[in-house]
């Protein structure tokens, strides 16, 4: 056998071994796929760890993780509201882990027992088609009651509470602002103006952008994505108050690639990640105190933010979803 043949064989063997031993991470994400794919690609670029991921809505991800609890199929979870993580913690799905260099993340943006870490803040907002407003001689909504205007009849799209964290956030907002009974009474009235409830939180944003419907309620990250694409839309916040989601991350208990999962959570909690999302217009407000965004729409001091306890959200999630089914859409 020639030296050249032996060398070629050794190179092939080395390549094969590297492929077998290459570090990888399996993950579920609730972030929009266009953002998640860029984030995972940047993580791979920084660490060499390959990421295999699937994207689900909040409800779908939680249901899947619960069903797989005895035999986890993924190692980490990226995105989705912290109350989903609170529910997952209660189900024993998550492993406690405090990411490195997370002191710059305020305690209220982290689980007190380190089962999840918040990496972005996203308030709810109204997204409205400006052509519809002009045609109907209307102003963009600035109060929750504005959406009851009969000119919006069958012209609103928003998320379905059975599958979407955006929808449960909407319910939490209304309960905190109006009180529980009034919040569900309002949603029953609002239902008359609903054209469609969408599976995912962002599902109604594009129909609003293209004029298939008029307005809806979204996390600001999804609304700003539509605006940045140049569609005729306006983003406003309810003056009477709105709650916000804490976009989080965490390690799945019993995942096969535990070390890689912890490296990922370290990376997502880092200053470098926060700077990456700001630079790339991935419009979450960083939870780190040492990274700021200059976009005026993300200036939280200008929004009437209603405080909602994450544990309370996790505990009320199922109850309020069921009540929404029974009292609003039936």
Q: Do 82 and 284 touch, CB atoms closer than 8 A? A: no
Q: How is domain 3-121+246-294 classified at the architecture level of CATH? A: 3-Layer(aba) Sandwich (3.40)
Q: Which of 198, 218, 240, 245 is nearest to 126 (CA)?
A: 218
**DSSP category for residue 212:** S
Contact predicate 175/328, CB 8 Å: no
Q: What is the pLDDT of residue 8?
A: 47
Over 50: is that where the pLDDT of 17 sits?
no
Structure confidence by residue, pLDDT tens digits, 49-106: 999 999 999 999 999 999 999 999 999 999 999 999 999 999 999 999 999 999 999 9
* Domain boundaries defined on the chain: 3-121+246-294, 123-243+310-329
Tell me the torsion sign for CA atoms 69, 71, 75, 78.
negative
Its CATH class, for the domain covering 123-243+310-329, is alpha beta
The closest of 171, 179, 258 to 217, measured between CA atoms, is 171
Largest CA distance in the chain: 85
**Cα–Cα distance, 87 to 168 (Å, whole number):** 13
pTM of the model: 0.85
Tell me the percentage of the chain whose pLDDT exceeds 70. 94
User: How high is the mean pLDDT of the chain?
Assistant: 93
DSSP 228-258: HTT-SEEEE--TT-B-EEEEEEEEETT-TTH
3-121+246-294 and 123-243+310-329, same CATH topology: yes
Give the DSSP letter string of 52-94. Answer: EEEE--HHHHHHHHHHTTTS---SEEEEEEHHHHHHHHHTT-E
DSSP 5-71: HHHHHHHHHHHHHHHHH--EEEEEE-S-HHHHHHHHHHHHHHH--EEEEEE--HHHHHHHHHHTTTS
């Amino acid at each position: 056998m020639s030296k050249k043949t032996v060398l070629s064989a050794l190179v092939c063997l080395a390549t094969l071994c590297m492929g077998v031993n290459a570090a990888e991470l399996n993950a579920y994400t609730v972030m929009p796929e266009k953002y998640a794919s860029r984030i995972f690609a940047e993580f791979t670029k920084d660490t060499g760890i390959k990421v295999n991921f699937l994207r689900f809505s909040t409800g779908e991800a939680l249901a899947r993780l619960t069903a797989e609890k005895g035999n986890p199929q993924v190692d980490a979870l990226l995105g989705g509201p912290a109350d989903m993580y609170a529910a997952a913690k209660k189900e024993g799905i998550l492993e406690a882990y405090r990411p490195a260099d997370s002191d710059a993340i305020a305690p209220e943006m982290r689980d007190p027992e380190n089962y999840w870490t918040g990496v972005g803040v996203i308030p709810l907002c109204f997204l409205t088609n400006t052509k519809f407003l002009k045609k109907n001689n209307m102003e963009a909504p600035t109060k929750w009651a504005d959406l009851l205007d009969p000119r919006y009849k069958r012209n609103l799209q928003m998320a379905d509470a059975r599958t979407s964290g955006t929808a449960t956030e909407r319910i939490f907002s209304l309960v905190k602002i109006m009180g529980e009974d009034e919040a569900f009474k309002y949603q029953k009235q609002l239902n008359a103006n609903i054209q469609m409830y969408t599976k995912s939180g962002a599902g109604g944003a594009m129909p609003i952008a293209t004029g298939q419907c008029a307005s809806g309620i979204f996390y600001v990250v999804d609304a700003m994505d539509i605006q940045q694409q140049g569609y005729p839309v306006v983003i406003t916040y309810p003056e009477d108050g709105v709650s916000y989601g804490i976009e989080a991350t965490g390690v799945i208990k019993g995942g096969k690639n535990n070390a890689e999962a912890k490296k990922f959570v370290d990376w997502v909690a880092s200053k470098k990640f926060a700077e990456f999302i700001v630079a790339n217009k991935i419009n979450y407000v960083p939870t780190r105190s040492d990274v700021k965004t200059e976009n005026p729409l993300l200036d939280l001091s200008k929004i009437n933010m209603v405080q909602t306890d994450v544990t309370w959200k996790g505990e009320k999630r199922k109850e309020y979803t069921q009540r929404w089914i029974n009292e609003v859409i039936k």
